[in-house]
């Protein structure tokens, strides 16, 4: 049997104290929301408080410790009538009978509070980490995962947590993302992405790296014939690097160009930047790109774009599909949250990050250590390709 109670309190700390006293240390916080408390006789304005709904299994030994079981608590899920009035006790369905450790219960509550704008009740060091991640635009549920690990370690080591330990935990999390895992280049790489993200310059940087660092030869193809300047730009890079360039207008042209460049170790193809928020342009591009397994498609996005727009482009490009992600213009933004969010939500392997216009220098090879340093520092850390 599960007991359910509702509390109206001024802050989370007060709620936690009452919940532990009433329901014990194994109580589960099911939901929170901000409410307005009316003044005397409806006068003197309204005071903002927090409504907290908590539950505990009456059959659970309050001194028992359990293993962590990950649970995703959604704000839109209500108790479906389980709580009729403050203080009422009701049995919940078996599916709601969840056993959590105290750390996970608290960190899920922190996540909900972050969404509601309720001040967090957590150690200063962890609050600073959360603030940095929030400033970078890291999504609340991702921040909650990180803070869960940090809080567990914090409580298990006599409340001592230094910057080195914080960085280590952040690196450990970032190592679970597909970060810098696509350094093995494919023979034919097609670069796609919205207008203005820097595809042509990125291709020139990668071509220079292949020539100078890998000591292999490369051929260039451009299908960006919508802009004369784009063809001229890549032609200039080809002349400087002394590599062949083919200009194509159709799928038939592309097939012939690939045949002429067959002796190259790598072939890099530029495409027109279009408004890929519109699926029509992606289907148009699909008609040009050869439908074969040896085509490696690189989606190029700018870190200066809004995250919601980047998500829509990624979703639209699934028809190709995308093999690798390249993010540009890290030097033009102070936030890298969209990088973390994209890798977490879509699991697209991130091959490179560009950090300026210089060819071939401003091509970064992202690593968990680089990203952790950047997220915890004031500016963008510089790490060169190797």
Instruction: Give the pLDDT of residue 56.
Output: 75
Locate tokens 């051929």: which residue?
Answer: 219
Give the SS3 label for residue 353.
Answer: strand
> Contact at 8 Å (CB) between 103 and 148?
yes
Question: Average pLDDT of each block of 10 consecutive residues along the chain (386 residues)?
Answer: 78 79 76 68 62 71 39 38 41 42 51 49 75 89 79 61 80 85 77 89 92 91 77 88 92 90 94 75 77 80 92 85 90 91 91 86 87 77 45
Domain match, 338 and 213 both: yes
Report if residue 46 sits inside a domain: yes
Domain match, 343 and 223 both: yes
Report if residue 25 sits inside a domain: yes
Select from 323, 208, 202, 334 the least CA-distant residue to 266: 208
Strands 218-222 and 188-192: unpaired
Residue 35: give the domain boundaries.
Answer: 1-101
> Contact at 8 Å (CB) between 354 and 201?
yes
Domain match, 241 and 359 both: yes
Number of H helices, E strands in the chain: 12, 11
Last residue of a domain, one of 50, 66, 101: 101
Domain match, 195 and 342 both: yes
Last residue of a domain, one of 70, 101, 132: 101
Domain match, 219 and 331 both: yes
Size of the chain, expressed as the number of residues it contains:
386
Q: Tell me the C-alpha distance between 159 and 157, whole Å.
A: 6
Query: Could you tell me which residues come within 8 angstroms of residue 344 by beta carbon, excluding any fewer than 6 positions away?
Result: 139, 142, 177
Domain match, 97 and 222 both: no
Sheet holding 2-9, edge to edge: 2-9, 46-57, 28-38
Q: How far is CA 251 from the centre of its chain?
A: 35
Backbone φ and ψ for 37, nearest 5 degrees, come out as -100, 125
Q: Tell me the C-alpha distance between 53 and 32, whole Å.
A: 6
Instruction: Give the pLDDT of residue 382.
Output: 44
Q: How far is CA 243 from the centre of its chain?
A: 37
Domain match, 91 and 233 both: no
Q: Could you tell me the end-to-end alpha-carbon distance of the chain, in angstroms, rounded to an integer?
A: 60
Q: Tell me the C-alpha distance between 201 and 195, whole Å.
A: 13
Domain match, 217 and 72 both: no
Report if residue 355 sits inside a domain: yes
> Contact at 8 Å (CB) between 189 and 220?
no
Instruction: Give the pLDDT of residue 113.
Output: 53
Strands 266-270 and 363-364: unpaired
3-state helix, strand, coil in the chain (%, to 5): 40, 20, 40
- CATH number of the domain residue 285 falls in: 3.40.50.300
Report if residue 289 sits inside a domain: yes
Q: Tell me the C-alpha distance between 114 and 4, whole Å.
A: 24
Instruction: Give the pLDDT of residue 126.
Output: 78
Q: Tell me the C-alpha distance between 238 and 221, whole Å.
A: 10
> Contact at 8 Å (CB) between 326 and 354?
yes
Domain match, 199 and 89 both: no
Give the SS3 label for residue 172.
Answer: helix
Instruction: Give the pLDDT of residue 149.
Output: 73
**DSSP secondary structure letters along 169-215:** HHHHHHTTS-BS---S--SEEEEE-BTTS-HHHHHHHHHHHHHHTS-
Report if residue 158 sits inside a domain: no
Report if residue 127 sits inside a domain: no
Domain match, 344 and 222 both: yes
Last residue of a domain, one of 101, 125, 140: 101
Select from 133, 139, 74, 77 the least CA-distant residue to 108: 74
Q: Tell me the C-alpha distance between 283 and 279, whole Å.
A: 6
Report if residue 274 sits inside a domain: yes
Number of domains in the chain: 2
Query: Could you tell me which residues come within 8 angstroms of residue 96 by beta carbon, excluding any fewer than 6 positions away?
Result: 2, 30, 55, 82
Report if residue 202 sits inside a domain: yes
Domain match, 211 and 356 both: yes
> Contact at 8 Å (CB) between 99 and 60?
yes
Instruction: Give the pLDDT of residue 294.
Output: 79
Q: Tell me the C-alpha distance between 181 and 366, whole Å.
A: 9
């Amino acid at each position: 049997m599960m007991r359910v109670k509702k509390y109206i309190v001024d802050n989370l700390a007060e709620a936690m104290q009452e919940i532990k006293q009433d329901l014990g240390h194994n109580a589960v916080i099911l939901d929170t929301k901000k409410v307005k408390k009316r003044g005397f006789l409806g006068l003197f304005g309204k005071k903002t408080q927090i409504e907290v709904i908590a539950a505990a299994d009456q059959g659970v030994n309050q001194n028992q410790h359990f293993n962590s079981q990950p649970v995703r608590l959604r704000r839109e899920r209500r108790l479906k009538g389980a709580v009729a009035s403050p203080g009422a006790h009701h049995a919940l369905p078996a599916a709601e009978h969840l056993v959590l450790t105290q750390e996970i219960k608290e960190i899920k509550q922190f996540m909900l509070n972050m969404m509601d704008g309720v001040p967090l009740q957590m150690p200063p060091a962890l609050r600073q980490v959360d603030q940095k991640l929030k400033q970078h635009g890291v999504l609340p549920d991702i921040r909650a995962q990180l803070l869960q690990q940090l809080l567990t370690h914090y409580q298990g080591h006599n409340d001592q947590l230094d910057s080195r330990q914080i960085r280590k935990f952040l690196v450990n999390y970032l190592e679970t993302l597909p970060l810098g895992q696509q350094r093995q280049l494919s023979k034919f790489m097609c670069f796609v992405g919205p207008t203005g993200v820097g595809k042509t310059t990125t291709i020139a940087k990668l071509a220079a790296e292949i020539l100078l660092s890998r000591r292999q030869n490369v051929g260039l193809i451009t299908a960006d014939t919508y802009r004369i300047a784009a063809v001229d730009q890549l032609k200039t890079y080809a002349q400087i690097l002394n590599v062949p360039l083919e200009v194509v207008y159709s799928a038939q042209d592309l097939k012939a160009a690939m045949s002429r460049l067959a002796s190259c170790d790598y072939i890099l193809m530029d495409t027109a930047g279009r408004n890929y928020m519109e699926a029509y342009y992606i289907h148009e591009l699909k008609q040009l790109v050869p439908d074969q397994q040896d085509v490696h498609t690189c989606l190029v996005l700018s870190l200066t774009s809004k995250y919601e727009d980047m998500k829509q482009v990624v979703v639209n490009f699934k028809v190709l599909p995308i093999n690798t992600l390249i993010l540009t213009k890290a030097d033009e933004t102070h936030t890298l949250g969209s990088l973390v969010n994209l890798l977490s939500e879509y699991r697209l392997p991130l091959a490179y990050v560009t950090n300026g216009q210089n060819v071939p220098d401003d091509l970064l090879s992202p690593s968990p250590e680089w990203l952790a340093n950047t997220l915890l520092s004031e500016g963008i850390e510089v790490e060169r390709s190797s």
